[in-house]
Structure 1
């Protein structure tokens, strides 16, 4: 049990996230997802979680473990070509995680996703919250466009583009 982490999660509230991602920023992120998906057949979701609840916090659940839970909760895995990607931010930990369905994950791999997360975390440290997420969306989209290009016969939008605040 990490006391510093528990305190940070207790002090981080929804208003902190709303200051970092006000309504116009969330609308811009939604538009970026919609625009990115127009160029390929992949699906992108963005979720930001303020902090963990008591039980997972006391069990030392990692951001990665929680991102996998959210991936399932939002049904990002439920795409025809197994090409859904979740960009997850655990705000209290200032930790980005990318969880990708097996189709695209087999092409990009852990190191590819981690490089994108590091870029987003760098922008986050400079308080460039919206720009960091949009940069991550563009980087994920480049991989999706390479392996699941758009064009005739492209899949319909299978997952909502709207960001989720948990």
Structure 2
């Protein structure tokens, strides 16, 4: 067990999550997702989770494993073209994970997703949560535009609002 990780998670409060992602920032992120959805037929969800619950934390659940759980819980896979993308931030770890449905996963390399995650994590380390989030959404938008350009009025399969867990 990683004692530092456990302490970070136990000390992550709702107040710290709200300080990093106040309502104004969440509104800006939602608008960025809405704009993103106009450019392609993919679907983007953005989730911030402050910390893992104790059982998951002590079981050693990784941010990637949790992101896959959240992808399923929010039904990001439930899109017309199987091209939903989850951008997941586990704030206590400052770890960004991108989970892509099979339609887009086959077309975008792991290195491209990782580049987006690294850019976001770099911004978050400097305390620039809104800028990092919007920048990540814009980079994901470019990848979706390349493979799933909007050829008709986009259909909203998933909500645009960010989720704070």
Bucket of the pairwise TM-score, normalised by the shorter protein: over 0.9
Q: What are the superposed Cα offsets for residues 117-159 of structure 1, whole Å, 9 maximum, x if unpaired?
A: 000001111111000000000000001011100022x441100
* Alpha-carbon distance between aligned partners in 2 of 1:115 and 1:105, rounded to the nearest angstrom: 15
2:157 corresponds to: 158
Shift of 1:109: 2.1
1:37 corresponds to: 37
* Alpha-carbon distance between aligned partners in 1 of 2:15 and 2:131, rounded to the nearest angstrom: 19
> Runs of 4 or more off by more than 4 Å in structure 1?
none
Q: Does structure 1 retain, via aligned residues, the 8 Å contact 2:88–2:97?
A: yes
- Per the normalisation by structure 2, the TM-score is 0.98
Unaligned runs of 5+ in 1: none
* Alpha-carbon distance between aligned partners in 2 of 1:83 and 1:155, rounded to the nearest angstrom: 13
SS of 2:109's equivalent in the other structure is helix
The 5 A counterparts of 1:70-85 are: 70-85=70-85
The 5 A counterparts of 1:48-87 are: 48-87=48-87
- Give the root-mean-square deviation of aligned CA atoms: 0.8
Q: What are the superposed Cα offsets for residues 2-42 of structure 1, whole Å, 9 maximum, x if unpaired?
A: 11111110001111010011000000000000001101101
- Per the normalisation by structure 1, the TM-score is 0.97
* Alpha-carbon distance between aligned partners in 2 of 1:126 and 1:8, rounded to the nearest angstrom: 17
SS of 2:80's equivalent in the other structure is coil
* Alpha-carbon distance between aligned partners in 1 of 2:83 and 2:109, rounded to the nearest angstrom: 13
1:127 corresponds to: 127
Query: How many pairs does the alignment contain?
Result: 165
2:18 corresponds to: 18
1:139 corresponds to: 139
Q: What are the superposed Cα offsets for residues 26-82 of structure 1, whole Å, 9 maximum, x if unpaired?
A: 000000000011011010000000100011101100000000000001100000101
* Alpha-carbon distance between aligned partners in 1 of 2:42 and 2:73, rounded to the nearest angstrom: 18
